[in-house]
Amino acid sequence: MKFSPRVGTMLAVAGALAVAVPAAAHPTSSDHPSGSSHSSGKSHKCKPHNVAYTESGVVDAATASTLTQNSDGTWSGTLVVDVTRTNHAAKADKGQTVSYSFDAAKLRVRFDGGTTGFTAGERVRLIGKLATVAKKCTALSPAATPVFRMVVVHPAATTSGS
């Protein structure tokens, strides 16, 4: 197929315009309104946001846990756990004995495998969230504490004799 010089020139001009027009359409920083989030200089990561906070372990044998069920189905009291596993956000608790107090919080408790209470040696998993900001930002003051929504209780691990 042969093109005349006139058609070839028109195609070249159209191609150049197709490349130049989108590049010229993007506004510069001086074109943004003064209230725009782009000009604030703060990262959205510096705003507090929730991350998952999970840990599991066994109910501590040395300190009694006093969690009791309230009439409205919520739980209150103290739970003492020897933490053995955590996610990234809770890694500071790994290998520690931690105590959590619940005051009529919206805490749900699920008993699995025939468990009925919080006796020493039973395995527990705490599931909640923690308010945090990015590492490059100023830390929250006061430091955030985890808010748990659920505790899952499993029977104590059985040891088999060899």
- Which residue has better confidence, 29 or 19? 19
C-alpha 120/C-alpha 81 separation (Å) is: 9
Structural contact between residues 50 and 129, judged by C-beta atoms closer than 8 angstroms = yes
37-57: pLDDT as tens digits:
454 555 677 888 999 999 999
103-128: pLDDT as tens digits:
866 788 899 988 888 888 899 999 99
In which region does residue 77 sit, left (phi positive, over 0), alpha (psi from -120 to 50) or beta (all else)?
left
Q: Give the number of other CB atoms < 10 A from CB of residue 79.
A: 24
Distances in whole angstroms, Cα of residue 61 to Cα of each of 81, 114, 149: 9, 20, 24
The predicted pLDDT at position 24 comes to 57
4-25: pLDDT as tens digits:
778 778 778 777 777 766 555 5
- Domain 44-154, CATH 2.40.50 — does that match? yes
81-109: pLDDT as tens digits:
999 999 999 999 999 999 998 886 678 88
**Any idea where the domains of the chain sit in the sequence?**
5-39, 44-154
Residue 58 main-chain phi, psi, to 5 deg: -120, 150
Structural contact between residues 134 and 49, judged by C-beta atoms closer than 8 angstroms = no
- Which residue has better confidence, 101 or 28? 101
Structural contact between residues 124 and 149, judged by C-beta atoms closer than 8 angstroms = no
